[in-house]
Copies of this chain bind each other. A is one copy, B any other.
Amino acid sequence: MPLTRISLRRGTSEAYRHAILDGVYHALRETFDVPEDDRFMTISEHDKADFSYGAHYLGIARSDNLVIIQLTVSNTRSVEQKKTLYRRIAERLTENPGVRPEDIFINLVEVAPENWSFGHGIAQYAVSECDGGLRPSA
């Protein structure tokens, strides 16, 4: 269910971008109970004039290699799970493809479980209004 949008400066290799997508996907699997193959991700590359960032906000020294990660997810996770996700994304991306931890920016947008359709025009996560509220964790 997560819909992942990543924004970068233009000019990285395909292998680099592939490693970022894989790292975020596996961090979501490990910390947000995301099922296998639940992976919907895009990357947008930007020229210098179209990618602006605070180079020192909160005392963190960012570079042009900043990776902006915006994840739309269902609103079913605790604050502790969110913290664990951020830590795991940072661990994975620093390991491969070697992003500096200062250059990892993450934002979560939360939505109701019925706000997804994964195909066929069906709301696969919607809960019938009379079934007592069972929901998949993802």
Residues of A within 8 A of B (CB): 3, 7, 14, 17-18, 21, 25, 35-46, 49-58, 60, 62, 68, 70, 72, 79, 82-83, 86-91, 101-112, 114-124, 126-127, 129
Q: Which residue of chain B is the closest to A100 with respect to CB atoms?
A: B119
CA distance A50 to B104 in the complex (A): 18
Measured CB to CB, the nearest residue on chain B to A129 is B79
CB atoms of A105 and B40 under 8 A apart: yes
Bound-state CA distance A127–B83 (Å) is 11
The A interface, classified by DSSP as helix, strand, loop or mixed, is mixed
Residues of B within 8 A of A18 (CB): 49
Provide the bound-state CA to CA distance between A70 and B1, in Å: 12
Pick 30 A–B contacts, CB within 8 A, sort by A.
A3-B70, A14-B49, A17-B49, A21-B52, A35-B57, A36-B57, A39-B54, A39-B57, A40-B52, A40-B53, A40-B54, A41-B52, A42-B46, A42-B51, A43-B46, A43-B49, A57-B118, A60-B118, A79-B114, A82-B123, A83-B122, A86-B117, A90-B121, A101-B120, A104-B119, A104-B120, A104-B121, A106-B117, A108-B111, A110-B115
